[in-house]
Amino acid sequence: MIITTAFDETEELIVKAKKLSESLNVPYIARNKKTVKYMLEHKDAQIFVVNNQRGLSYYEKGHDEIFFHPNMAMHRIKQIKSGQSDSLVTACQLKEGMTFLDCTLGLASDTLVANYVTASKGKVISLEKSFPLSVLVSEGLQYYATHEKPEWKSLIDQINIVHTDNLDYLKQCPDHFVDVVYFDFMFNQSVESSHGIKVIKPVVSYDMMTKEHVTEALRVAKQRVVVKSSYGNHSISELGFTIERQNQKRHFFYGVIEK
Ligand SMILES: C[S@@+](CC[C@H](N)C(=O)[O-])C[C@H]1O[C@@H](n2cnc3c(N)ncnc32)[C@H](O)[C@@H]1O
């Protein structure tokens, strides 16, 4: 894995790329007017590109450009602000001041909503196993707050992303560490997913919920463990979750275990 700049490298982009290279401990390679295709073939098969359009993009051999923009979450937060309900908030019974462990960050839509609802008095920790995705989301959020919507900066600064396997993380948490532990693993490949999720498919982890996740989550949660899953996934009730299908039209449901 390497970090480089956009084709039209400027001094500012070079400084940013070198800074990121240091903080992520990923080598910086000068772009030298080479195409991404050339870089993927001759330099490395996984490349971060610091640019002006998105802030940061990621390329892997054989796949399209991947970048992050928090569109979806911002839309959900606007709906909550206007008094509408949100299915995650309802299933988790989230309120201001609560602590929430999001075990599957993905595109940070649920994380942003949870941060908004629990607010500055609460705390949200968001775990992501995919290194490229954890970096794209962290950097993408900062880019959005700096270049597009400074009014979201305080909410975005609240976000706490940890690159880790969620089971490893849960195992080192003390008992009753947070109010709610939440999982939203990737749905079965055949289930239709949002456009955003389709784009990140090459870089995500396809781990599945196991009995061990449930045991650890129940130890770590004070109030409840919640899982989002696709309709037809019967293993969730076998793991002890009560199914809450809030909207019959949706292809997903929430499973809840109350403590
Ligand atoms: C469906 S997405 C989550 C979507 C997210 N709830 C949102 O609002 O955008 C699932 C994410 O969980 C991550 N993941 C899968 N297994 C994991 C594990 N064992 N530990 C941490 N993250 C994991 C995947 O890499 C993927 O990014």
Q: Residue 79: which CATH number?
A: 3.40.50.150
pLDDT at res. 112? 97
Find the 189 Cα to ligand 1 centroid distance in Å: 14
Ligand 1 nearest atom to the CA of residue 187, by list position: 1
Residue 192 sits in the same domain as residue 241: yes
pLDDT at res. 73? 86
Specify the DSSP element, H or E, that contains 19. Answer: helix 11-24
In the block, which residue shows the tokens 């509408």? Answer: 84
User: What is the tens place of the pLDDT at every residue in 65-102?
Assistant: 999 989 888 999 999 999 999 999 999 999 999 999 99
Q: Indicate if the pLDDT at residue 190 is higher than 70.
A: no
pLDDT at res. 247? 66
Does the CB atom of residue 109 touch ligand 1 within 6 A?
yes
Does the CB atom of residue 108 touch ligand 1 within 6 A?
yes
User: What is the tens place of the pLDDT at every residue in 209-259?
Assistant: 999 999 999 999 999 999 999 877 778 989 999 998 766 667 789 999 999
pLDDT average, residue stretch 24-49: 97
Compute the distance between CA of residue 147 and CA of residue 125 in angstroms, rounded to an integer: 25
Identify the residue whose C-alpha is closest to ligand 1 atom 4.
Answer: 106
Residue 66 inside a domain? The answer is no
- Residue 188 DSSP code: P
What is the CB neighbour count within 10 angstroms for residue 211?
11
Residue 158 burial (C-beta neighbours within 10 Å; 0-12, 13-18, 19+): middle
Find the 204 Cα to ligand 1 centroid distance in Å: 7
Residue 90 sits in the same domain as residue 189: yes
pLDDT at res. 230? 84
In the block, which residue shows the tokens 């809840």? Answer: 256
User: What is the tens place of the pLDDT at every residue in 41-72?
Assistant: 999 999 999 999 999 999 999 999 999 989 88
Residue 10 sits in the same domain as residue 52: yes
Residue 65 inside a domain? The answer is no
User: What is the tens place of the pLDDT at every residue in 159-184?
Assistant: 999 999 999 999 999 999 999 999 99
Does the CB atom of residue 129 touch ligand 1 within 6 A?
yes
Residue 140 sits in the same domain as residue 195: yes
Mutate to test the pocket of ligand 1, among 100, 104, 127, 128 (most ligand atoms within 8 A of CB): 104
- Strand 178-183 relative to strand 221-230, pairing: parallel
Find the 127 Cα to ligand 1 centroid distance in Å: 8
